[in-house]
Structure 1
Amino acid sequence: MSATPPPTHPHEAAGKLVLLRHGETEWSKSGQHTGRTDLPLTEHGEVLARAAGKLLTGYNFALQLASPLQRAQRTAQLAGLSPQTEEDLLEWDYGGYEGRTTKEIRAELGYAWSVFRDGVVPGQTPGETVEEVAARASRVLARVIPALADGDVALVGHGHALRILTTVFLRQEVRMAAQLLLDAGSVSVLQFEREQPAVRTWNRLPSLPTD
């Protein structure tokens, strides 16, 4: 499936789309799938978020959006942003695989399961398909791409959802997101170059204090 963002006028979109993944949580540290579970940042996650703010200097944000979950909201705050809340930036709903690691899921299923290829099963929440996450990403892009005519846009969110949003922006098959690694606390920058969606910077990690 190729996901194409809604029609826009990229020749007018001079701004940059800045993606900030939230800082570390206990589950991101352990590799547990963290969808709708509302975990706080670890102490190291807060350090990452503050440091990531230094990578945002020099941008002229016309719009700032963040997932409603506390790990994204706190990251935005520590990075010096004041975003509006955007429900469509929520992380993938992993359903019955929430809180479980890939290793655990593969041991249960007996094959090399991949969330991007094989999806999830219902649990305490219904779960989402990759296409449903991509549809949410398309709605986010429909809102933010016009704002790029007025300046830069910051999106603060989650690893898998931001990776899928990037494939939608690039007009690529959404499962390509499996090949886009995105670390906690990282900053990535997308933009239009001669009317074509492009990646300027990917998965840039901030420099951390040494003391």
Structure 2
Amino acid sequence: MSNDTGARPVPEGRLVLLRHGETEWSRAMKHTGLTDVPLTSAGEEAARRSAPLLAEFDFGLVLVSPKERARRTAELVGLTSSTVEPNLVEWDYGGYEGRTTTEIREELGYDWTVWEDGVVPGDSPGESIEQVAARARAVIDRVMPVLEEGKDVALVGHGHTNRVLTSVWLRTEPRFGAQLELDAGSICVLAYERHFPSIARWNQPAPA
């Protein structure tokens, strides 16, 4: 797709986001950041069923979070030639790791959300949303040359990080990700609508 103004051409490649399949913690709605929780059998089976959804893409690059749940998802959907990208790791939830939103709200006494209120240090320091957004920007900067060559890119990662990355892609406030529902095992496609970064497909589940 050419740019009528003579500026830099609009990338024709598509950015495909995969959230890892179900884990015991995701099923229980626990914040799962740096803890390495494996996929459930249902999560593995859903990943296998999702493989045909990727047949239409011509991947020039596949990047995957270092966490086992993401790497296993990539393997099961057939993305075996992948490169680990540390910046795709999930939000570091610090002291809220392994806890549900309901539990945190009961402790704090108000309607806490990670998007508005952030996290506290725990066994790990935790991250601000701005730090997650900076990691997302680094990933986008890394893949943009491939997209500009007309090749597609797959990113296999996590729920909150993918939602922040999408907000950065859309050139909007990272907290916009709070409005993007994203289920375990789902597939999303980011692209360009003329000169504007866009969402071409969102939260597509594994076929039944």
User: In structure 2, what residue type is equivalent to 1:77?
Assistant: E
Output the CA distance in 2 between the equivalents of 1:198 and 1:15: 12
Q: Which amino acid aligns with 1:30?
A: A
RMSD: 1.0
Inter-partner Cα distance in structure 2 for 1:193 and 1:207: 27
Letter in 2 for 1:158: H
Q: Which residue of 1 aligns with 2:35?
A: 37
Q: Distance in 1 between matches of 2:10 and 2:179?
A: 30
Give the conservation status (yes or no) of the 8 Å contact 2:95–2:122.
Answer: yes
2:58–2:152 contact (8 Å) kept in structure 1: yes
Alpha-carbon offset, residue 90 of structure 1: 0.2
Quote the Cα distance in structure 2 between the aligned partners of 1:206 and 1:42.
Answer: 15
CA–CA distance in structure 2, aligned partners of residues 130 and 26 of structure 1: 25
Secondary structure, aligned partner of 2:103:
helix
- CA deviation string 1:72-116 (max 9, x = no partner): 000000000021000000000000000000000000000000000
* Alignment partners' CA distance in 1, 2:114 and 2:203: 20
Separation in 1, partners of 2:166, 2:46: 22
1:58 Cα deviation from its structure 2 partner: 1.3
Name the residue aligned to 1:53: 51
> 1:147: Cα distance to partner?
0.7
SS of 2:106's equivalent?
A: helix
SS of the residue corresponding to residue 145 of structure 1 reads helix
One-letter code aligned to 1:196: F
Which residue matches 1:97? 96
Q: Is 1:107 paired with 2:106?
A: yes
2:172 is matched with which residue?
172
Structure 2 CA distance, aligned partners of 1:114 and 1:198? 26
* Gaps in structure 1 of 5+ consecutive residues: 1-8
Q: Which runs of 4+ in 1 moved over 3 A?
A: none
Q: How does 1:180-195 map to 2 (within 5 A)?
A: 180-195=180-195
Q: Distance in 2 between matches of 1:127 and 1:148?
A: 32
Q: TM-score, length-normalised on structure 1?
A: 0.93
- The verdict on how the C-alpha distance between 1:193 and 1:11 changes in structure 2, with shifts beyond 3 A counting, is farther
Aligned partners of 1:103 and 1:183: how far apart in 2?
18
The answer for the alignment partner of 1:25 in structure 2 is 23
- Rounded to whole Å, the distance in 2 between the matches of 1:60 and 1:21 is 19
- 1:206 paired residue number: 206
TM-score, structure 2 as length reference: 0.94
Deviation at 1:52, TM superposition (A): 1.6
Determine the structure 2 residue equivalent to 1:65: 63
Give the CA deviation at 1:11: 2.3
The Cα shift of 1:10 comes to 6.3
The separation in 1 between residues aligned to 2:8 and 2:120, in whole angstroms, is 38
Cα distance in 2 for partners of 1:119, 1:77 equals 32
Does the Cα contact within 8 Å between 2:133 and 2:174 map onto a contact in 1?
A: yes
Residues 11-31 of structure 1 deviation map (CA, whole Å, 9 limit, x = unaligned): 241110000000000000000
Letter in 1 for 2:154: A
SS in 1 for 2:17: strand
Count of matched residue pairs = 200
Residue 116, structure 1, aligned to residue 84, structure 2: no
Q: CA deviation at 1:68?
A: 0.4
Distance 1:53 1:17 in 2: 16
* Conservation of the 8 A alpha-carbon contact between 1:10 and 1:192: no
